Amino acid sequence: MDPRTVLRTGVKAWTIGVLGVTLPITGGMIMSVVNQKHIHRYRWPAFKSIVGIENLFPFPVIASMLVDLKIMNSELGRLALACALISDFVSNLTFSVITLGRVGQMGFASVIMIHSTFLTICLILFILFVGRPICLWIVQKTPEGKPVSRIHVILVATLVLVVVLFTDNVGLNYQYGPFLFGLAVPDGPPLGSTLVDRLETLVSGLLAPLLVTYCGMNVNLIELYDLRFIGVVWLVISLCLLMKLAAFFVPALFCGVPVKDAGALAFIMTAQGVVQMSFYYYNAVNQTFDTETFSMLTMSVLTQAAASNLIVKRLYDSSRMYTGYQKRDIQHTSLNSELRVLVSSHRVDDVLAAKKLLEVSFPSKESPLAVYAIHLVELAGRAHPQLIDHQLGQKSSGGTRTQKMIEIFAAFEQQFAGFVAVQQFTAMSLTKFMHHDICTLAFNKLASLIILPFHRKWNHQGKMILDCSSLRAINCDALEMAPCSVAILVDRHKVRRNPSPTYNVGVAFFGGNDDREALAYAKRMAQSPDVHLTVVRFVPWDIYAGDNQWDAVLDAEILKDMRMQGAHQDNMVYKEERVKDGAETALLIHAMEEAFDLIMVGRRHREDTPQLLGLSEWNDLREMGPVGDMLAAPDLAMPVSVLVVQHQNVKGI
């Protein structure tokens, strides 16, 4: 974690986070004072421990839950992460102060309080002035792009052991020391990411499941003796849960969070997991809890963890924020108005390919171009995703690769000064959540088109060098969730040996919403005198076969406009090819590969389209459609680029 994230969170997160901690802790203290005379003195330590642990808000538990629910990068997920970080800090600080205050109240223990306070300060100073400088020195010694050496990892592990010894002698729980030291370790690569790579499998894959399994094996629901105290345990758990739910739900409503989202946030913040279970186990080992108390508490953790997941899934759907918004596409954007395009990139090659496509989109004074470039960096060694806005002067920690991508788009903006406006962002996130960053930014910026890079890459000789399944998954999720039209760009243009000053664009038109969107974008390109546009309409032998009346009307209308525009421009050609089935279509498509620099095609078509009959059976990449899949084949020798376009999904109002 980066503790500075707390300072950068907004007023909403601070309000919800602080009130969400203050009210339950105050209620827990009142509960302890009221029940002190009614609880047996042998049960009193267990009662206090239960109240204290129930009012913890561990950030790792909440972050893991958001990852499991796949909403970490959603609006609610970001708010929950910020609130969790603040709540974790405030609750730990509050309990440390309360503990030292209780020790100071004892007349014979004032020396112990002074000693404990002094050692706590020494611990913090050791972490700040010894541990962190060593970590920064390790980062400086590690070459960029390289992992931290094994010796340095061992050095960090040794520092953790030293911090544990300090913490134990201070009188605090031994877990707090490594937690504070972890905040001091610089997040991200190289040190943070290396520690995560070395330790995550061991901790999250082995030790944490073993702890939960061991605790579960010690649960005994048969041998129960003190039923009265068991009732008290469940009453305390229920009251603490209700106080926490109210403490987060009410402030969230006052901060303008919708009712369902406020309810989901409350259940996220009250989730329990392996951290609470470890504290319960620690108290069981110290014999603060007997077997039946520990059994009840373990059952409560498992019950709350399962219930919270189910309730949040029921209350919150992150995709609904993108539904019901019409006309965020190119078809309904006038040729003489600004076109807003979001460009997603993972590598420098992606930026270069997108830059070429944007150049032929003909930005001009009459039809300016607004480009929102989002550079996607995999989250490594961090628990908190970031969306960095470079217009605000924020620096990216994505390394020289990200900086080079930023410079390419900055040069593109200068090349078309006055006609192109570029805003650049860097999203640092887990790969499986990157589509949320793409869709959210497109939604907020009112983009009409998202351009995604294809998951396969070729070198200058035309040989495929990359086939990344994780990038393909991002594209598939973005196509499903996007609030506007989406296009996947297959880049092979750089391997053409004899470049022509004229950029030849071909549109394979079969009919339907996606093909009309591709043609609308191509018409915009054709305004450039350097672009030669050819629209090839594939017509079935039986002109009435598989026809949809409304689609046929819309197709005829856009083709009529295209022919009228072409009558006044020499760089636009319209052709019709009559085909019997998918086999004849495939032959003509392969013939187009030699004639064009860029082929545009719609992604989706009616299943009964006779021109594509048989092609769907060979479609390996569903996100590319039958024609796009054929043009994106890895063994294709022609250096033609492909743009597969999907019209905006309108799921309802």
- In the predicted model, is pLDDT for residue 43 greater than 60? yes
Question: Residue 643's pLDDT band (boundaries 50, 70, 90)?
Answer: very high
Task: Parse the chain into domains and list their residue ranges.
Answer: 5-316, 339-646
Work out the average pLDDT over 14-25.
87
Residue 443's pLDDT is 85
Residue 449's pLDDT is 93
- In the predicted model, is pLDDT for residue 653 greater than 50? no
Residue 12's pLDDT is 82
Which range among 260-269, 329-338, 595-604 shows the weakest confidence by mean pLDDT? 329-338
Which range among 9-18, 194-203, 394-403 shows the weakest confidence by mean pLDDT? 394-403
pLDDT digits (tens, 9 = 90+) for 369-381: 999 999 988 876 5
Strands, sheet with 572-579, edge to edge from the N-terminal-most edge strand: 386-389, 420-429, 369-378, 339-345, 449-453, 485-490, 641-646, 598-602, 503-509, 531-540, 572-579
Token pair of 428 as six digits: 């640092």
- In the predicted model, is pLDDT for residue 350 greater than 80? yes
The CATH number that domain 5-316 falls under is: 1.20.1530
Position of tokens 């903006």?
413
- In the predicted model, is pLDDT for residue 395 greater than 80? no
For the chain, give me the number of helices (H) and strands (E)? 23, 13
- In the predicted model, is pLDDT for residue 651 greater than 60? no
- In the predicted model, is pLDDT for residue 590 greater than 90? no
Work out the average pLDDT over 600-621.
81
pLDDT digits (tens, 9 = 90+) for 122-147: 888 888 898 889 988 888 888 776 77
- Which of 57-61, 110-114, 143-147, 406-410 reaches the highest mean pLDDT? 406-410
Q: Are 417 and 438 in contact (CB under 8 A)?
A: no
pLDDT digits (tens, 9 = 90+) for 315-327: 887 666 665 445 7
Q: Are 228 and 43 in contact (CB under 8 A)?
A: no
Residue 267's pLDDT is 93
Token pair of 144 as six digits: 């960029």
Which range among 66-70, 72-76, 261-265 shows the weakest confidence by mean pLDDT? 72-76
Residue 382's pLDDT is 61
Residue 475's pLDDT is 92
Say how far apart CA 380 and CA 639 lie, in whole Å: 35
Closest CA to 73 of 380, 350, 379, 398: 379
Helix (H, G, I), strand (E, B) or coil at 189: coil
In degrees, rounded to 5, the angle at the alpha carbon of residue 49 between the alpha carbons of residues 46 and 52 is: 150
Question: Residue 245's pLDDT band (boundaries 50, 70, 90)?
Answer: very high
Say how far apart CA 462 and CA 492 lie, in whole Å: 7
Q: Are 424 and 355 in contact (CB under 8 A)?
A: no
Those residues with Cβ within 8 angstroms of residue 142's Cβ, 6 or more apart along the chain or in another chain: 148, 149, 152, 190, 191
Question: Residue 636's pLDDT band (boundaries 50, 70, 90)?
Answer: confident
- The structure's pTM equals 0.72
Helix axes 291-315, 44-54, angle to 10 degrees: 20
Alpha helix (H) residue ranges in 316-361: 348-359
Contacts of 64-71 with CB under 8 Å at 24 or more apart are 64/273, 65/268, 65/271, 65/273, 65/308, 65/309, 65/312, 66/268, 67/430, 68/309, 69/309, 69/312, 69/313, 70/318, 70/432, 70/433, 71/312, 71/316, 71/318, 71/436
Q: Are 50 and 297 in contact (CB under 8 A)?
A: yes
Say how far apart CA 449 and CA 442 lie, in whole Å: 8
- According to DSSP, residue 132 is labeled H
Side chain identity at residue 462, one-letter code: G
Which range among 228-242, 270-284, 552-566 shows the weakest confidence by mean pLDDT? 552-566
- In the predicted model, is pLDDT for residue 565 greater than 60? yes
Q: Are 292 and 220 in contact (CB under 8 A)?
A: yes
Give yes or no for a cis peptide into 190 (omega within 30° of 0): yes
Question: Residue 431's pLDDT band (boundaries 50, 70, 90)?
Answer: confident
Which range among 77-91, 183-197, 260-274, 539-553 shows the weakest confidence by mean pLDDT? 539-553
Helix (H, G, I), strand (E, B) or coil at 92: helix
The CATH number that domain 339-646 falls under is: 3.40.50.12370
Give burial (CB, 10 Å; 0-12/13-18/19+) of 228: exposed
Report the mean per-residue pLDDT for the chain.
82
Residue 645's pLDDT is 93
- In the predicted model, is pLDDT for residue 286 greater than 70? yes
CA distances from 331 to 274, 327, 479, 521, 526 (A): 51, 8, 18, 8, 15
Residue 392's pLDDT is 63
Percentage, residues of the chain above pLDDT 90? 13
Token pair of 518 as six digits: 């591709």
